[in-house]
Chain A
Amino acid sequence: QVQLQESGPGLVNPSGTLSLTCAVSGGSVSSRNSWTWVRQPPGKGLEWIGEIYPSGTTNYNPSLKSRVTISVDKSKNQLSLNLRSVTAADTAVYYCARPSAGARFDHWGQGILVTVSS
């Protein structure tokens, strides 16, 4: 059973960079599945951030594409999210997830709340 766990700073300064990692256990980050980041502002709905395929190819939400980078570290079996030039609007719970196909996400991390504030 694949398990995902996000980690990183819970507080980021405005204009700074949000950096999170997602440790994968019970499976390999190099498997045939893609890996995804999703976020949820407090009290609001879910927003897809982007995904990375086993080949290393990435696919980002156009609304965030200029600021986001998703990568994989095979040696540590984890994936990473970097979001640059953050504002208060980026305050959210950030989840890593593994889709089986399309919008079917079978596995989720527990999520991590990141607050953008000085």
Chain B
Amino acid sequence: QSVLTQPPSASGTPGQRVTISCSGSSSNIGRYTLNWYQQFPGTAPKLLIYSNNQRPSGVPDRFSGSKSGTSASLAISGLQSEDEADYFCAAWDDILNGPVFGGGTKLTVL
């Protein structure tokens, strides 16, 4: 299983606010910044949030990230149908001496 723990699924209706959690340990999230990726079927992951709460250019401000201790969250406000995708968290890990990922959360817009 994955080093970082995410719920396998999440859902919401259009306009709603949804949060996705990511839990780790002192060797990864507790020590390093957290990044979030969005992935649509058949495509490569796309950087969504970096350094816990920073958005790359072009990412809507509906997406926000936060981190506290060894856990982090991705929040999506004003949910839209095009947000339906898989979301992965990632952080550097001292034990692996490399990046570790969450197992991914499949977001369904009802």
Binding site for B on A (CB under 8 A): 36, 44-48, 50-51, 59, 61-62, 95, 99-100, 102-106, 108-111
Contacts and interface: CB of A to CB of B under 8 A. Distances in A.
Nearest to B88: A46
Contact of B44 (A50, A99, A108): A108
Which of A47, A100, A104, A109 gathers most chain B CB within 10 Å? A104
B102 A50 contact: no
A102 B34 CA distance: 10
A105 B103 contact: no
Nearest to A63: B96
B100 A105 contact: no
B100 A103 contact: yes
Given A46-B101, A61-B96, A104 B45 contact: no
5 contacts: A45-B102, A46-B88, A48-B98, A50-B98, A104-B47
A103 B67 CA distance: 15
Contacts of A36: 99
Interface string B66-99: 0000000000000000000000101110001111
Contacts of A45: 2, 88, 101-104
A46 B45 contact: yes
Contacts of A106: 47, 56
B33 interface: yes
A45 B56 CA distance: 22
A103 B99 contact: yes
